[in-house]
Amino acid sequence: MDKKICTYICTGCGIGEALNIEELSEVVTGEMSQECKTHACLCGVEGKAFLENEKKTEGVNTFNICACSPRVMQREFDMGDDTITVRGNLREQVVWAAGTAEEGQEESHQEWLQETGSDYIRMACTRTAKTELPEAFEMESMNKEILVMGGGIAGITAAVEAAKAGSKVTIIEKADALGGKANGWAKQFPMAYPYAELEDNSIASMIAAVEADANITVKTATEVARIGGAPGDFKVTLKAAGAASEWDAPAKVGVDEQDLIDKGEMEDPNAGLKAYSEVNEAADTFGAVVLATGWVPADVSEYEHLGYGSNDKVVTNAEFEAMAKEGKLDGINNVAFIMSPGGEEHDEDFPYANSVTSMVALKQAKYVRENNADAKAYILYQHMRTPGNMEMFYKGIQQDDGIFMTKATVTGVEGGTVHAKDTLLGEDLDIDVDMVVLAAGMVPTTKIENTINLAYRQGPAFLDLDLFDGYADSHFICFPYETRRTGVYACGGVRKAMNMQETMDDATGAALKAIQCIESADRGVSVHPRSGDKTFPEFFMQRCTQCKRCTEECPFGALDDDEKGTPLPNPTRCRRCGTCMGACPERIIGFKDYNIDLIGSMIKSIEVPEDDDDKLRILIFACENDAYPALDMAGMRRLKLNHMIRFIPVRCLGSVNMAWIRDALSAGLDGAMLLGCKYGDDYQCHFVKGSEIANTRMENIGDTLSTLGLEPERVRSEQVAITDYDTVYTLLNDFVDEIVELGANPFKGF
C-alpha cells in the first residue's frame, strides 16, 4: 500500500490547554516531515466526519491520531480495514499524568510537559511511518468440525451446544457408552427453584439428545492416538481405546539405559515410534478440540488415621455413590461424612476438593435419610461451601433433624468410631457409625495420563502441568477455558472440580470458544487476548542461525522446526504475543505493526537532552494487558508522574528484545524498566510465560551492562496488576529517584 500519512492532534479533553499545540504541530511537520492537522474534538460527531472526509477526499490511508489512550475510543477511530491507524497517547499519559506544578517550578513544569508531549508525538509519528498494513493469514484448507474428547456431562453438553450453534461435532469416548461418571449417580443436585430436593439422574435423556442430533457423530471405545496440525486444520488419528499405537509418546529413557541401547544390550522402547512432528496424513481433520476427559477420584489412602484401605467401614464418596446407585444402603443407618482430613493439618481440605465435595456430602446425607427415616448422617467439615443457589439446598438440609453438621477436626477413625475435636459444639466427639465416607477430590485426567498426544515440537502433552496441579491452565482468571495449546479448550472436571450445573455452563463456554477459534482461524486473525489481530510473526529465514530459541520459548507451541532447527510457524496456533521476537538473537522475527526496527526507531526518536540532570530520560516498556491500563487509570486519577518517564506499550514483556534495552542505553537514555504481569505459581501473564522469560533475560542483560561499564541498576523488571493504578506511579517515580542518584548515563552524547 502506498501510504498517505497525516497526523491529527486533538485539542479536546484539556490537551489544547495544557500543551502548546502549535509547537507540537511543528515537531510533526518539521522534524518528522509529516502532514499535521488539529481538531477540537476528534472523537465527536464532527471529528469523526472530519476524519472520514480526510480518508475520502484527501486520500489519507494512514492516520496518526494523537489524542486519548489507544484503549479508549476504538470504535470512533476505526478508520477501516484498508487503513493504518496509530494512536499517540497525549491525554492519559502526558497531560493527565503531569500533576500540578510545585511552587516556584511553574515554568519548568510547563517546559517538561511540552517536552514530554513532543516525545510522544515523535514516537507516534515514527510508529506511523514504520507500520505496514497487515494481511490476514489464509489457510490452505479449513475444517470447521469440532472434536470433543470425552462423552460425560461436559463432553455431551459441549457437543449439543456446538451443534445448536450449527457446528458439526464428533464425540469420542473411551468407554463403551456415553455418560461418563454421571452413569454412576443415584441422583443429581437440584437444578431448579426451590433447589430443595434431589432430582432423578438426567444423563439418559442427555445421551438421547446427542443420539438424535444429526450434527453429532459418536465414537465410543475410541481414543486419540495423535493430534497434529493447528486450529482450522487439526489432523487427528483415532485408535481403539487402550490399544497401543505407532504414535504413542516416546518413553523416557535414562542416561544408563541409553548407553545400553547404544551398545545393543537393551531394546530401544522408542523404536518404531514416529518423530514428534509426524502426523498421519490420512487422519481426520477438525477445526478445534474440546477437552472434556474428566476426572478420577483422588487417592485418600495417605491419611492413615482415617483408615481408608485398612478399615472396611471407610469408603470414598465415589464408592458411596455407587452403593447408593446399586441400592446397597440398607442396614447402613448411621454415616459420618468427613470433609477434611484433619489430623495435624487442621484446616486443610482433601486434595482436589472444593465446593463440589461439600455438596456431594449433602446429597449423600440425603440418600441416607431417604433410605431410612430413622437413619442419621453426621457431616464433619472445615469448610462448608455451597455457592449460588446451592445455598438453598444447604438451608433445606439444615432443617433435617437427622442430619448433623459441625465444623470439626477429625483426629482418627477406629473401627466404627470417628474421633473429632475443636467442634462448633465446644466438645470433643466420638461418633459411632456404620460407615465413614471420605470426601475424596476430583483429580483431572491430564494429571494422570496424556490423552491428547500432540505432534508438537514442544512435546506431546501440556507443559508445566506440575506447576498447576495437573491442570492444563493458560490463564486462570482471564481465560479459564484456554489451554496453552491454541484451539484446545478444556471444560468440566478436567479443568476444575465442579458440579453438574457448573460443568454444563463450563462446557457451553468451551464450545463457544472452540467455534470462536475456528472462525478466527478462518478469517486469519488471532484469538484473544489479541482477538482480531491480523498480524502474525514473519521470519527472515535467510539470517536464521537455527538456534531454536523461538521454538523453545513460544508459550503456545506455535512453532515446530525441521531437523536442522529451522522454525516452522503454524500461524493459527499463534497468539501474536511476540515472545519469539523477543527471543531471537538475530532480530529476524517481526510483525507488520510491531517489530525490532519499529520499536527501536521509536526509542531513538525520543529526544535526549545533554548536560541537564533535571532532564534524564527513563524508558518504561509497559505490557498492554495490565501495566498499560493501570498507567492510564493512574492518569485518569490525575496522579503525578515524574516528567522524565516515557512509556512504550508492548504486547507482552516476552516480546521485548534485549536489543531495545541496548538501543535505549546507547541512545543516551538513563534507565529502562520492563513493567508487566506477575509471574510464578500464581502468574497473571496473559501469554503465560512472557513476563517470566523477560525477567530471566533482564538478569542476563545486567551482566552485559556491567561489562560496558554501566550500572546494572539502570535496568529493572517489575510486576504490576491492573488494580495497581494507585501505586504504579510511585513505583516508577521511586525508580526515577534511584536513576537520578546514579547520575546521567555516561554514554550520553557519544
Residues that bind ligand SF4 (CB under 6 A): 537, 539, 544-550, 554, 556, 558-559, 567, 574-580, 583-584, 586, 588-589
- Rounded least distance, CB 717 to ligand SF4, Å: 18
- Rounded least distance, CB 584 to ligand SF4, Å: 3
| 207 vs 588, beta carbon nearer ligand SF4 | 588
Q: Are 172 and 219 in contact (CB under 8 A)?
A: yes
- Rounded least distance, CB 582 to ligand SF4, Å: 8
| 260 vs 547, beta carbon nearer ligand SF4 | 547
- Measured CA to CA, the distance from residue 615 to residue 744 in angstroms comes to 9
The DSSP code for 475 is B
DSSP state string for 538-569:
EE-GGG-----HHHHH-TT--EEE-TT--EEE
Residues in contact with 344: Cβ distance below 8 Å, sequence separation at least 6, in sequence order: none
Cis bond before residue 529 (omega within 30° of 0): yes
Strands of the 417-421 sheet, one edge to the other? 409-414, 417-421, 429-432
- Measured CA to CA, the distance from residue 286 to residue 282 in angstroms comes to 13
SS3 127: helix
- Measured CA to CA, the distance from residue 65 to residue 46 in angstroms comes to 15
| 369 vs 457, beta carbon nearer ligand SF4 | 457
- Rounded least distance, CB 653 to ligand SF4, Å: 12
- Rounded least distance, CB 570 to ligand SF4, Å: 8
Q: Are 416 and 311 in contact (CB under 8 A)?
A: no
| 33 vs 545, beta carbon nearer ligand SF4 | 545
> In Å, how far from its chain's centre is CA 108?
44
Residues in contact with 59: Cβ distance below 8 Å, sequence separation at least 6, in sequence order: 4
| 529 vs 635, beta carbon nearer ligand SF4 | 529
- Rounded least distance, CB 240 to ligand SF4, Å: 34
- Rounded least distance, CB 561 to ligand SF4, Å: 7
| 585 vs 680, beta carbon nearer ligand SF4 | 585
The DSSP code for 250 is P
Residues in contact with 746: Cβ distance below 8 Å, sequence separation at least 6, in sequence order: 709, 710
- Rounded least distance, CB 547 to ligand SF4, Å: 4
- Rounded least distance, CB 657 to ligand SF4, Å: 10
Which three cell numbers, joined as nine digits, stand for 242? 487402550
| 575 vs 646, beta carbon nearer ligand SF4 | 575
| 47 vs 582, beta carbon nearer ligand SF4 | 582
| 119 vs 561, beta carbon nearer ligand SF4 | 561
- Measured CA to CA, the distance from residue 155 to residue 381 in angstroms comes to 32
Alpha-helical segments (H) within 245-398: 255-262, 317-325, 355-371, 390-398
